[in-house]
Structures are given as structure tokens and as C-alpha cells.
A and B are shown apart, each in its own frame.
Chain A
Amino acid sequence: GNSVTQMEGPVTLSEEAFLTINCTYTATGYPSLFWYVQYPGEGLQLLLKATKADDKGSNKGFEATYRKETTSFHLEKGSVQVSDSAVYFCALKSGGYQKVTFGIGTKLQVIP
């Protein structure tokens, strides 16, 4: 079956530090890959996505590249801000329209 593996959190960084959150996946076929962000007390917001190999998703300074050879979709940001503090979920969709598989989420805390 499909699965998503994320690095365990929490991740604590100083403001303006470089961020990487690792995500690897196992899936049949050719999945679409997503990063969702969840701010405290809120629902999930789509941060970025990529639908085929070598695609790069980007939004709000965050980037992730769909790497089929390493089955990875790592999230990166060059300079984090306190406002980026949230939980980040890597997810994939493969096969049926309804089947989205989420990782466990990685909590990011950015300190001034």
C-alpha cells in the first residue's frame, strides 16, 4: 500500500535559518505529491504540490522537488520566519480520487 514517511519533529530553528523537512514515499503508479501546512488551531492549507517527476512546487518561499529516483519530496525554505511556525504534512495521492495518504506531520518552531 501507499505510505509517506516524514522526519520526526519538533524542529526548532532560529529566524532566517535554512529549513529542510524530509519526506519519502512508497506508492503504486505515479502519485501526485503535496505539502500541507497546519497553523495552530486551524485546518490544513495546501502549501505546494507537484504532479510528475522533476516538477518543482513552490509557494511563499517554500520549495519541493518531486524526485522519482529517490522517491522523495523534501520541503525547503531558504530563510524561515517566526510566522512559519506550524505543522507540515507531506501527502500523496495515487490511484482513486479519494485516497490521500498523509505523513505524521512535522512540527516547526521558529524562534526570534
Chain B
Amino acid sequence: DAMVIQNPRYQVTQFGKPVTLSCSQTLNHNVMYWYQQKSSQAPKLLFHYYDKDFNNEADTPDNFQSRRPNTSFCFLDIRSPGLGDAAMYLCATSTTGVGTDTQYFGPGTRLTVL
């Protein structure tokens, strides 16, 4: 089945220690998104890639970076995680064009910062 895969499902890091979260997709979608979801809150869009074009949300901290080496993979890098960065990180994909308006989500990575 075509899907969005995130690894790892659970990640523990130390305060200030860089961490990378991974997302891959078999849907061949041209748009990939990273969301941050804190407990009992709606997902918050951090940034997205439209093909190779990176689009940052205005309020996304500089501490968060992303890479998309090819269509299938996208990474979220947190350069110096703080306690406030503990959250669920969700990757999503979509395609563009008429009638294609659904975002498909991965299972998420739960990040714990010690």
C-alpha cells in the first residue's frame, strides 16, 4: 500500500543535542509537510516542500531545519532541542492539481527532550 512512513516512532534526545527525524513516502506526491503537534493541540505547520522549493512558515523558529534530498524523503533537523520542543512531529504529503486537496499523514514521531 502506498503510504507515508516516519522513523523513528519514538525519539529521545538530550537538551541541546541535535536530532533528525525522517519521513519517506511511496505516494510520489510532490508536496511534503512537517507539522508539530503538542499535547491536546491541533497540528501546527512548520514548513513544507513544493518539489524542491522550501517554504518556511513565518513563525517557525530557526532551530528547525529541513532537507529533501529527493521526492521520496524529507528530514526534519532540530539543531538544539529545548524542553519546549518535546512534541509529536507529523509528516504529511499531498499532490497538486484540480481535485487533489487531501493531505496524507504519517504515524508521527514522538520526541522527548531530557
Within 8 A of A (CB), among B64-94: 88, 90, 92, 94
Q: For the complex, what is the distance from the CA of A107 to the CA of B103, rounded to whole Å?
A: 21
A103: chain B residues at CB < 8 Å are 42
Chain A residues with CB under 8 A of B99: 51
**Total contacting residues, chain A, CB less than 8 A:** 21
Identity of the chain A residue whose Cβ is nearest the Cβ of B40 in the assembled complex: A105
**Chain A 90-106 per-residue mask, 1 if CB under 8 angstroms from chain B, else 0:** 00010001101011110
Chain B residues in contact with chain A, CB under 8 A? Answer: 4, 6, 31, 33, 40-43, 45, 48, 50, 55, 88, 90, 92, 94, 96, 99, 101-108, 110
A44-B92, A98-B31, A105-B40 given; 6 more Cβ-contact pairs under 8 Å = A43-B6, A43-B108, A44-B105, A93-B101, A103-B42, A104-B42
